[in-house]
Amino acid sequence: MAYWILKAVLTPVLRFFFRVRVEGLDQLSADGPAILASNHVSFCDSIFLPMVLRRRVTFVAKAEYFEDPKTAWFFRAVGQIPIKREGGSASERALASAREVLAHGGLFGIYPEGTRSPDGRLYKGHTGVARLALDSGAPVLPVAMIGTREAQPIGQVMPRLFMPITIRIGRPMRLEGEGLAGDPLVLRRFTDEVMFELRELSEQKYVERYAARKGTVEDVEPARVAHVAPVAAA
């Protein structure tokens, strides 16, 4: 209930103060499970994406947001899932929660980079998105957030008003097949393909390394990835 109340209040406010445009909304089915794999360039990514969707979307959010009273109320109210980014059993519990959302036909949002981009470039994705796609059978829709970094850069508390924000939703992608769960090469290839689609949608420069938690990393050439056939949106 709190999710829809906040959405009803925030959506007209944000649309008034920002120039929001959505492309590819028809790629998302009206029902059924789906994974929204988004680039992550600003804190407000997790606010603008749910605002433009007719369906509820659940994200994982770093556990620190739930420990800070200034942000904890918001993330609890909208039913987000805390995750400790050091990995291990905590990450597995978050993925288990994500599988439950998908098993009930819900939308699950994930940032494959694992953290906000420190410099606006697109970084190598972690394979959790591929594991979720394989375990659930749900399609993955790449989502590019464009303009949110300019509206609210890292470290800036209040966003800049009346900035243009574009949300671009790409074609659904599936990873299916028996015996693939234990093959790390398959998971890596599919994740790279998702990141390739994100690069095309966002027009970001791609860095073939994981994003550092603080600072930037050295730039190298992007990996070549195999083609994954699209699936038609229902």
Kindly state the average pLDDT of the residues 68-87.
76
Q: Return the HEC string of 102-133.
A: HHCCCEEEECCCCCCCCCCCEECCCCHHHHHH
Q: What is the pLDDT of residues 40-70, one digit of tens each?
A: 999 999 899 998 999 999 987 777 878 888 8
Q: What mean pLDDT is reported for the chain?
A: 87
Give the model's confidence band at 225: pLDDT under 50 very low, under 70 low, under 90 confident, else very high. Answer: very low
Edge to edge, the sheet with strand 140-146 lists 19-23, 164-169, 140-146, 34-38, 107-110, 57-62, 81-83
pTM of the full predicted structure?
Answer: 0.86
CA 45 to chain centre: 8
Percent of residues in the chain assigned helix, strand, coil, to nearest 5: 40, 20, 45
Q: Which residue has the higher pLDDT, 11 or 83?
A: 11
Q: Which of 7-16, 91-100, 157-166, 221-230 shows the lowest mean pLDDT across its residues?
A: 221-230
Q: What is the pLDDT of residues 181-201, one digit of tens each?
A: 668 999 999 999 999 999 999
Q: Which of 88-102, 105-119, 146-160, 209-223 shows the lowest mean pLDDT across its residues?
A: 209-223
Correct CATH for 2-207 of 3.40.1130.10, 3.30.930.10, 3.30.390.50, 3.20.20.70: 3.40.1130.10
Phi-psi region of 125 (alpha: psi -120 to 50; beta: other; left: phi over 0): beta
Does residue 178 carry a pLDDT above 70?
Answer: no
**Calpha distance 15→8 (Å, rounded):** 12
Map out the domains of the chain as residue ranges. Answer: 2-207
pLDDT for res 214: 58
pLDDT for res 88: 61
Give the model's confidence band at 179: pLDDT under 50 very low, under 70 low, under 90 confident, else very high. Answer: low
